[in-house]
Amino acid sequence: MRFVPLAAIVAVTVTAGPGLPAQSPSHTVMPVPARIAMTGAALRLDSTVTVAIPGYRDRRLVGAVDRAVRRLEARLGWPLPRTAGVDPTATIVVMVEGAGYAIPDLREDERYTLTVTEKQATLQAATVVGAIRGLETLLQLHATDRDGDFLQGSAIDDAPRFPWRGLLVDVARHWQPPAVIKRTLDGMAAAKLNVLHWHLTEDQGFRVESRRFPALHEQGSDGLYYTQDEIRDIVAYATDRGIRVVPEFDMPGHTTAWFVGHPELASAPGPYTIMRTWGVHVPTMDPTRETTYAFLDEFIGEMTALFPDRHWHIGGDEVRPKQWNESTVIQAWMKERGIADAHALQTHFNQRLFAILARHDRQPVGWDEILQPGLPAGAVIQSWRGTEGLTQATSQGRQAILSAPYYLDHIKTAAEMYLADPLPDGLTAEQAALVLGGEACMWGEYVTMETIDSRLWPRMLAVAERFWSPATVRDVPDMYRRLAINSRRLTEVGPTHFTHAERMLARSFPSDEIPRVRQFLEYARPRGFAGRGTNQLSPLTRLIDAADPDPMTEQRLLMLAGGADQPAWRETLDAHYLRMTTFDTLFANMLPRAPMAADALPLAEALDQLGRVGHEALGHLAAGTTPNEAWFDAAHAAIERIRGKTFGLLRPVGAESVAALIRRLSAS
């Protein structure tokens, strides 16, 4: 079978941009395809639906088709075929040219075309991974009306903008069991992400079983680590979904957990214990001993059997040289060899480490601190401190990926991350060609297995669209429209972001009050990354942990404020503002029964002020009156006290809608 571009199948396509053309029916596909035309047709779905793979097939493709059919079946409520046939006239036809890479690869061809007519849905792809991507789009075309279920008529020609679309998951600071990793992989596949960057070692934990050096996991993990069989299983699970697994073993810093079992690797004598606090710690590997490199060579040789991807993340960030500077032996060694400072010593370490990786057929990836004079060629630079590392790396002819704008743990909104492009301004065409893509980061200081899904999803869907879709796809309201729908769809593959708050509140609040606490959380966001004052042993079970990083309420209120001329919209918006004024009394009265209510009181008092100003502003709009100067002064002062501020551990939602109303009154 030959892969046929969509241009040869349909005469007209629509280039994705900020919203669809007026004549094209709306869609809910996320990420937005490279080219999409909605035809208005409907492929009706009923118990007669058949599925076929008439061309190439293998175990991975059959499994992907079966997973998609089972998801569709669950939505429809009746059984669909258990086995895909070969009849090219079936209702849903998946035609694939060949396997692609046996191990997911940076060079994988992920293109696909998808056409849906009144008679048939046809998915074509050059590789199995391309078909996996197209199946996700097909499921997103599912819709319902009064006549039942159908697939939206469409013609899609799709391919990713970037080949590296990653998510870092830090399991070293807080352990995440295999089930969490697997449901994260399922969510990633739904979002067309293709790299799991697995951060496996830190000062707070060493999370991989080593049979050659068992003291690493036995003494450095609190018993929380992945066995080698579990790692093989997870890597295979990822492979089945077209996702690469890039392990990170951070070195020479962030390595305290290594030294608990192997203090001889450290630059100062032990003993060492697992770090329980957050931050950048002093313990560092000794780059001057040959035994360090012999150990790493043997360890990496063992790990490459578990992680088949050619890329290998060495970390390399935030190295504190205190142990190096205070060691007379290390200083003498450096002086003898003309190594001027700590940066040069780390580069020497990386030169030796790169040689080891080359012997094991691995290409290094490192954080932007490794980009120092003398760094050997070949490393992919991951720019996290800004865009400067990416610009510098590509100016030197090095490949790079961008992470700086996409730190999920910093509690940025989906919109903030969505509008940040992996290609910064000012790059030449040659530099832009060296940018492999982007990677969001879910660092583990403030997430547990109970809360990680709510910090990943649904915001990661917006980031995934930035990595996949054309750069011109930047319509934030439309992104949030589709995000709300796909956030719910995502739950069918495992992520628990919709239910985690309910479970957490049940632990600390009376059952009869939980609905009202959930209402309060619609107007609350967690504070930013820094300053929580916790450590690895702290239970992360406060209201901040139950709160959503980017509640959809913010977008609803802004939309309602924009339509406040309409009485029905104004009435709905006013109901929100009046609700805001009730929470301070609610939580004050709840304190005797629920001490955790104290977490809510500072924000509840701020929301009371915000709700009052919003209610008064709507009153003036309804009456057609203009407030006096004193009212404007008080309203502006209230907004400034509240907007973007932190109250306890929470931040308010809704200030922007009130500010919009005030601006509207000012202009009247």
φ, ψ at 41 (rounded to 5°)? -75, 170
Q: How many residues does the chain have?
A: 668
User: Are the beta carbons of 413 and 432 closer than 8 angstroms?
Assistant: no
Q: Give catalytic status of residue 318 as yes or no.
A: yes
C-alpha span between 97 and 112 (Å, rounded): 11
What's the Rg (C-alpha) of the chain? 27
576 contacts 650 by C-beta, under 8 angstroms: no
Q: Which residues pair with 42 in a beta bridge?
A: 152
- DSSP-assigned letters across all residues of 332-379: HHHHHHT--SHHHHHHHHHHHHHHHHHHTT-EEEEEGGG--TTPPTTP
Residues 6+ apart with CB under 8 A from 483: 30, 414, 458, 461, 462, 552
Query: By the 8 A CB rule, do 470 and 32 touch?
Result: yes
Query: CB-based burial of residue 580 (10 Å sphere; 0-12 exposed, 13-18 middle, 19+ buried)?
Result: buried
> Is residue 477 within 8 Å of residue 502, measured between CB atoms?
no
Rounded CA-CA distance 322/281 in Å is 10
Active-site entry in 318, 416, 492, 656:
318
Q: Return d(Cα 208, Cα 224) in angstroms, integer.
A: 9
Q: Give dist(CA 300, CA 296) in Å, integer.
A: 6
Please identify every residue annotated as catalytic.
318
